[in-house]
Amino acid sequence: MFLALTALVDEPRHGYGIVQEVDRLSDGRVQLKIGTLYGVLDRLSAAGLVVLDREEAQQGRLRRYYRLTDEGARALQEEATRMAANAGAANARLRARLAGGALAIKTIRGAGATAGGAA
């Protein structure tokens, strides 16, 4: 949902356009299936986060273009902020772990040097 909303920030897109943009945004890490996307779009639409912008006939097929609503932009901003805070917390803990590991290695090496120097 997050990347689908992100794909709609700059312009309305049709389903396949959203799939392509999600692939680009995630550097290929997320490969959204078209069937999954339409379920996501239905939920986002029901929540008022996206709306149908227009429909265009393209090679005998109807393309539906979706656009992000103001409510959707607010929800995306809140989620981006929440995710950034979570990533910050994880990174802080990882830095502390690495610093603690480095301290433990220095302590062990220092103890070994003292013991070795006394012998």
- Give residue-wise pLDDT tens across range 48-69: 999 999 999 988 888 999 999 9
User: Is it the case that residue 107 has pLDDT exceeding 70?
Assistant: no
- State whether the Cα torsion 25-29-32-33 is positive or negative: positive
Q: In which band, very low, low, confident or very high, does the pLDDT at 76 lie, cut at 50, 70 and 90?
A: very high
CA 88 to chain centre: 14
Residue 85, CB-side half-sphere exposure with 13 Å CA sphere: 6
The DSSP H or E segment spanning 8 is: none
pLDDT at position 112 is 57
* Nearest of 4, 96, 97, 11 to residue 49 by alpha carbon: 4
CB atoms near residue 53 (< 10 Å): 16
**pTM for this entry:** 0.77
We report the CATH number of the domain holding residue 32 as 1.10.10.10
CA distance 6 to 70: 13
Range of the domain at 89: 2-118
CA 47 to chain centre: 20
Q: What distances in angstroms separate CA 103 from CA 96, 99, 106, one per listed residue?
A: 10, 6, 5
pLDDT at position 118 is 46
Mean of the pLDDT values across residues 91-117? 69
pLDDT at position 22 is 97
Residue 115 or 13, more confident: 13
Domain count within the chain: 1
